[in-house]
Every structure is written in structure tokens, then in C-alpha cells.
């Protein structure tokens, strides 16, 4: 499968892009201890002073924010939080949803339907609304007050963002598995004595894997969009510090913080919120590339393994096509 | 007799479904009580749940408060609700019409171009809605600065209503999404034999599309439209916030209490539930052939 994946240039480029971002980001916190280049005042040749924010230029590739922090550096520092959180949330959502879906697929029809209707509202009501409503008080705190520990806050946010999406995914996967379980080949495997784990592994999984890849992509985009929305609503990943006078700051330097802090002033300094959004878009497009690549590679590898089993003959054997294995001497028929 | 029994059974199921989803919504609305800061308290959750049910049974007692000024919830939230629905419905209709037009144009074109369009739709879908909103706002302001023409109102202040730009902003991602889905469904539909028969009989391309394909496609589209509604609503939430329009989402955001939140959830959920039930009721005989 990896053999086919490496051959797709777009997917590999996209993967490299994301990996570089995250590696640089982790490297920044390890080597520079999370320090970010900051220039709050600049003098030009005539000696006139200009203050931050600076527009994108050769010196600051993406410009700086109002406190003079280099935006490119900020983006790199924040990448590990945003991309990491996105991947973790997506992965956990699908893992929990899959496990519950496996159980749900065995439920009887009435129980299945009542599960669906109980969680029906989840498929209609926007996630942003629910998660904002729950997270808002837990994650914003005033400057100077002692908030809950960082890891608790992050854990809480991760949990909320995971839990509220699980019912929909569970229902979707459970339904998909239920349909597969009713297929003829699964039924015949069952009659031949296959137990549920065997059926899952050998008969359901090959059909479910492509669905899971697509689901992963959809969920990843969804998580990023929710993070953006929460950022605009000033609930940042890892917590929001509210200063006296209503100014806000993000605890970690993740991307949504930049958005939330500066979107109000984007008419005057449009590059500050546009940079994180641009990176969000790039991340989403990169993940689209990677996952379409994965899907293609998965299908190709399946075809390959199928092809290997029926090897075509390389050379046609010469000589007589048939030969007697053992020459039987004609038996003499003994008269009865 | 059999028909009566099955009809009765169906309505019973619908009632059970409705009841369970209402319980689900109330349980969802009460979740903030579950978290006291960052710790769990289950007893408080059940208390809040009970209180919520009690207060929902008497809607006239519901209130919302803002800086200790307490006002009754009911006429106010409905006014806000109407505003949200106006924006939602008009952009739904606009996007649907646009998407159908785009798909019709695409069916006339070379399939190679259609493939290219499909690929670009994937990228367009990846654009976050906020990017679209920002670019729109920026370009309108830029246009205003350079030419002095204010095409549409950019943001609302006070009680002023702003509709045009939110509708446009909501319509752009929605149109992209609808086009993608309709294109997929239409292509599937064009492979069916009745289309070949219709065009073989000499019907024009437009007639085949409008009289045969479109009807079947739209039926399926409306049947699977739940995810679209969900995506549109979450975009609407952020659009209302951006344009400071006085919709229900902003109402809930500003005056957030458990009661307001739950009432808003009910108001959003119920019409969609009724829509799907009615749709199923009236088209169940058709859907058997289509789905």
C-alpha cells in the first residue's frame, strides 16, 4: 500500500508540507523554548520610526501582529497545537464511534431506531453552538486569576469536541455495518460458522476501510472548521485569557487565537487574520490530497493482491500438451 | 384494514421518535449543569434536567436576563427566530436554484470539462466559510473606497437589520455544496435507461433534464438533505456573529442560560423534524422506486 502511496506526487507533497510544519513547530519549542521573533519598532533609512503591525514584506514574510510578533513564526509555533488537536480529535471520534458502532450493529431494529431518534438532534444542531455553549465558561478566564491546570483544560476541550460528534458517527458506522451484515456473502460466512469478530475482520473491514478513510477526511475538515469558529467566538484551544478591558489572548499560540484576536480589526490589518485562515485552508487541502492518495493506494493494493493470486504464465510450455501420468495397461476383462 | 393498522403503527413510531428526540434535546440542553467548572456532578445534572422539563411545560414563565433585567422569553425569541429563518430559507432557495442552473449548464458541456469542474469543486469546498466572508467584506469595502458605491450594507449596528450580505455569504458555500451533490446525483441518473429512451424518442436535452432527470434528482436530494442543513446552520451561526445580525443564534450566544439554549434547540429542531416526516409521508410511494 505504501508503495502506491509514495508514487502519488501530490499526496506526498501534501504530507511533507504538514510534517514539515509540525516538525518545525516542535523543533521551535525544543530548541528556542517557544520563543517567537518580535520586533515592535522599526527604523527606516531616514530614521523615521514605524511601529507594529508591519505588513508582509521581505523582512517579515507574512507580516507581524500588533505586538510585533512575526506571524510566520507564530504560525509555525502554533502548528503543532492546531494540527495535533485536529488529528487527535478526529482519530478519537472515529475510534470511539467505530467501537460503539460495532456494538450498535448487533442491536435489534427497535433499539437501533430508538438510539437514532434519541440522538437525532445531534445531526441537525450545529456543533459550534453546542460546544461554544459548554466550553465558554470553562476555557475563558481573567488575567491574573488562577485557572484550572492547562492539561485539564485541554483534556476537557478535547473531550467535549469528541463526545458531541460520537453519536452521529456511531449511528452512521453502525448503519453501514448493519447493511453489510445483511449482505449475502456475510450471511453465508455466518452459516459456515464465522463468529462476529471473524465476520468483522474478514468480511466487514475490507468494505469499511474506504468508508473510514473518507470519514476521517470529512471529520478532520469538520474539526478544523469548528476550531476556526470557536476561535472567532474567542474560545481558543487551550484557554482564553481575558485582559481587563476586554482584550483577549490565547494561552498556546495556536492558529485560532490569531483569528479571534484580530478578526475585528481585519479591515485595517487584513493580513493578520488572513494568514491563519490561509494556513487552515492549506491544511485542509493538504489533508484532502493525502486522503485521496491513501484511498487510491488502498484500492490499488487490493487490486494488486488480487492479481498476484492468478499469475499469468510467462512462457508457454513447449512439447506435447498432455502426457500420461501413468500408463495403464489395459486390463484384461475377465469374463464373469 | 391492513392499511389503517400500518398507518396507525407509523404514526405511533413517529410519536415515539419525536418523544425520544425531545428527551435527547433536553438532555443535551442540560449538559452545562453536568460540568461544574471542569468537574462532573451527576446529581446536579438530573436536578437541572427536572427543572428544565418543569419550566418548558409552562412556556409563559420562561425568561431571559441581561444584566439583571429580566424579560419574558417568548415573543422576543420568536422575532429573532424569524430573522434567522428568513436568511436561512432565502439562501437555501437561492443556492438550490443556482446549483440547478450550474448543473444544467454542465450537462450540456464536454465531460472532460465537467471532470475539471468536479476537481475544482473539491478545492472550493475546502475553503473555510470565514475566508469567503472576509474576502467578500474586504472587496465590498475596497469597492466602496475606490468608487464610492456601497453595494450592500457591510455590518449591522443596533437594531438595524442586515440581510443581503449574510444571504450572499451563506449562499456561496451552500451553492458549492449543492452543486457537488446535484452533479453526482445527476450523473448517476443519466446512466439509467429511461434517459436514453427519452432522448432516443427525440426529446430535447432541456426537456429530458427538466421533465425527467431533475424531478428524480431533486426527490433524492431532498431525502438526503439533512447533512446540508446541518452544515448550513453551522455556517449561519458564524455568519450571524460576523454581521452582528439579530438572529436566534446570537440571541442564544448573548443570553446564554440553559432555558434559552434548550428553547432555541427545540425551535431549530422541530421544523426540520416535521419537514422530514411530511416528506416521508407524501413521497414514500415514490421513494421506493428512487432510493
Tens of pLDDT, residue by residue over A63-103, are: 777 777 777 888 888 888 888 889 999 999 999 999 999 99
How far is A219 from A199, CA to CA, in rounded Å?
A: 26
What pLDDT score was predicted for residue B105?
92
Q: Are B216 and B128 in contact (CB under 8 A)?
A: no
Give residue limits of the domains in chain B: 2-56, 86-249
Domains of chain A and CATH, by start: 2-38+75-306 (1.10.3720.10)
Interface of B with A in 136-175 (CB under 8 A): 137-138, 141
Q: Do A232 and B242 touch (CB under 8 A)?
A: yes
Q: Do B35 and A156 touch (CB under 8 A)?
A: yes
**Closest among A251, A223, A224 to A237, alpha carbons compared:** A251
How far is B20 from A120, CA to CA, in rounded Å?
A: 9
Task: Give how far B131 is from chain A: nearest CA, Å.
Answer: 6
Interface of A with B in 205-224 (CB under 8 A): 221, 224
Give the three-state DSSP class for A268.
coil
Task: Compute CA distances B95 → A1, A85, B167, B173, B228, whole Å.
Answer: 40, 33, 10, 9, 11
Q: Do A120 and B35 touch (CB under 8 A)?
A: no
In this structure, the dihedral spanned by the alpha carbons of residues A46, A50, A54 and A58, taken in order and rounded to 10 degrees, is: 20
Q: Are B136 and B165 in contact (CB under 8 A)?
A: yes
Q: Average pLDDT, stretch B192-221?
A: 89
Q: Average pLDDT, stretch A8-33?
A: 85
Residue partners of B174: CB distance under 8 A and separation at least 6: B91, B92, B95, B228, B231, B232, B235
A285 touches chain B (CB under 8 A): yes
What pLDDT score was predicted for residue A309?
61
Task: Give how far A67 is from chain B: nearest CA, Å.
Answer: 22
Chain A residues whose beta carbon lies within 8 Å of the beta carbon of residue B37: 138, 148
Smallest Cβ distance to A124: which of B122, B242, B269? B269
Interface of B with A in 3-32 (CB under 8 A): 13, 16-18, 20-21, 23-25, 28, 31-32
How far is B44 from A333, CA to CA, in rounded Å?
A: 98
Strand partners, A286: none
How far is B145 from B290, CA to CA, in rounded Å?
A: 53
Tens of pLDDT, residue by residue over B28-61, are: 888 877 776 667 778 888 888 888 888 888 877 7
Tens of pLDDT, residue by residue over B1-30, are: 777 888 888 888 888 888 888 898 888 888
- When scoring A82, A120, A255, A269 by the number of chain B Cβ atoms within 10 A, the one with the most, hence best to mutate, is A120
pLDDT, averaged across chain A = 80
Amino acid at each position: 500500500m505504501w508503495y502506491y502511496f509514495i508514487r502519488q506526487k501530490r499526496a506526498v507533497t501534501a504530507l511533507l508540507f504538514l510534517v514539515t510544519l509540525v516538525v518545525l513547530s516542535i523543533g521551535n519549542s525544543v530548541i528556542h523554548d517557544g520563543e517567537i521573533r518580535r520586533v515592535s519598532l522599526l527604523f527606516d533609512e531616514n530614521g523615521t520610526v514605524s511601529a507594529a503591525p508591519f505588513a508582509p514584506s521581505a523582512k517579515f514574510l507574512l507580516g507581524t501582529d500588533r505586538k510585533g510578533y512575526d506571524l510566520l513564526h507564530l504560525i509555525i509555533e502554533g502548528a503543532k497545537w492546531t494540527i495535533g488537536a485536529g488529528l487527535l480529535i478526529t482519530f478519537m471520534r472515529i475510534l470511539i464511534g467505530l467501537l460503539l458502532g460495532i456494538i450498535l450493529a448487533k442491536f435489534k431494529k427497535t433499539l437501533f431506531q430508538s438510539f437514532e431518534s434519541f440522538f437525532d438532534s445531534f445531526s441537525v444542531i450545529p456543533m459550534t453552538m453546542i460546544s461554544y455553549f459548554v466550553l465558554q465558561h470553562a476555557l475563558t478566564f481573567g488575567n491574573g486569576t488562577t485557572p484550572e491546570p492547562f492539561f485539564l483544560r485541554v483534556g476537557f476541550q478535547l473531550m467535549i469536541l469528541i463526545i458531541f460528534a460520537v453519536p452521529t458517527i456511531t449511528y452512521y458506522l453502525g448503519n453501514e455495518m448493519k447493511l453489510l451484515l445483511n449482505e449475502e456473502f456475510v450471511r453465508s460466512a455466518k452459516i459456515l460458522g464465522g463468529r462476529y469478530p471473524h465476520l468483522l475482520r474478514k468480511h466487514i473491514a475490507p468494505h469499511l476501510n474506504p468508508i473510514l478513510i473518507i470519514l476521517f477526511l470529512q471529520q478532520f475538515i469538520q474539526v478544523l472548521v469548528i476550531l476556526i469558529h470557536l476561535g472567532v467566538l474567542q474560545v481558543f484551544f487551550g484557554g482564553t485569557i481575558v485582559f481587563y478591558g476586554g482584550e483577549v489572548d490565547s494561552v498556546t499560540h495556536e492558529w485560532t487565537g490569531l483569528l479571534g484576536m484580530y478578526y475585528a480589526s481585519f479591515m485595517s490589518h487584513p493580513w493578520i487574520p488572513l494568514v491563519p485562515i490561509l494556513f487552515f485552508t492549506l491544511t485542509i487541502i493538504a489533508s484532502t490530497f493525502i486522503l485521496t492518495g491513501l484511498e487510491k493506494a488502498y484500492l490499488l493494493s487490493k487490486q494488486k493482491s488480487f492479481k498476484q493470486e492468478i499469475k499469468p504464465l510467462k512462457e508457454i510450455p513447449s512439447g506435447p500438451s498432455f502426457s500420461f501420468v501413468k500408463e495403464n495397461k489395459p486390463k484384461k476383462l475377465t469374463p464373469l | 384494514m391492513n392499511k389503517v393498522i400500518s398507518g396507525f403503527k407509523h404514526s405511533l413510531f413517529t410519536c415515539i421518535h419525536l418523544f425520544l428526540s425531545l428527551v435527547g434535546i433536553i438532555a443535551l440542553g442540560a449538559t452545562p449543569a453536568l460540568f461544574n467548572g471542569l468537574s462532573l456532578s451527576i446529581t446536579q445534572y438530573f436536578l437541572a434536567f427536572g427543572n428544565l422539563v418543569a419550566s418548558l411545560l409552562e412556556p409563559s414563565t420562561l425568561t431571559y436576563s441581561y444584566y439583571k433585567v429580566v424579560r419574558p422569553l417568548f415573543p422576543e425569541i420568536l422575532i429573532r427566530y424569524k430573522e434567522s429563518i428568513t436568511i436561512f430559507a432565502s439562501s437555501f432557495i437561492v443556492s438550490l436554484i443556482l446549483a440547478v442552473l450550474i448543473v444544467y449548464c454542465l450537462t450540456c458541456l464536454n465531460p472532460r470539462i465537467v471532470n475539471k469542474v468536479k476537481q475544482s469543486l473539491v478545492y472550493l469546498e475546502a475553503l473555510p466559510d470565514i475566508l469567503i466572508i472576509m474576502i467578500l467584506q474586504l472587496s465590498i469595502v475596497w469597492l466602496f473606497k475606490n468608487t464610492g458605491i456601497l453595494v450592500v450594507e457591510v455590518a449591522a449596528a443596533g437594531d438595524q437589520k442586515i440581510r443581503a450580505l449574510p444571504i450572499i455569504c451563506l449562499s456561496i458555500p451552500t451553492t458549492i455544496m449543492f452543486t457537488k451533490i446535484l452533479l453526482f446525483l445527476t450523473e448517476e441518473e443519466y446512466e439509467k435507461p429511461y434517459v436514453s429512451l427519452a432522448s432516443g424518442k427525440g426529446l430535447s436535452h432541456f426537456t429530458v433534464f427538466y421533465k425527467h432527470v431533475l424531478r428524480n434528482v431533486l426527490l433524492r436530494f431532498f431525502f438526503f438533505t439533512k447533512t446540508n442543513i446541518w452544515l448550513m446552520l453551522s455556517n449561519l451561526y458564524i455568519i450571524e456573529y460576523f454581521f452582528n445580525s439579530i438572529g436566534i443564534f446570537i440571541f442564544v450566544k448573548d443570553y446564554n442560560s440553559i432555558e434559552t439554549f434548550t428553547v432555541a434547540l427545540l425551535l431549530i429542531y422541530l421544523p426540520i423534524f416535521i419537514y422530514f416526516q411530511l416528506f416521508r409521508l407524501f413521497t414514500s410511494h415514490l421513494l421506493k422506486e428512487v432510493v
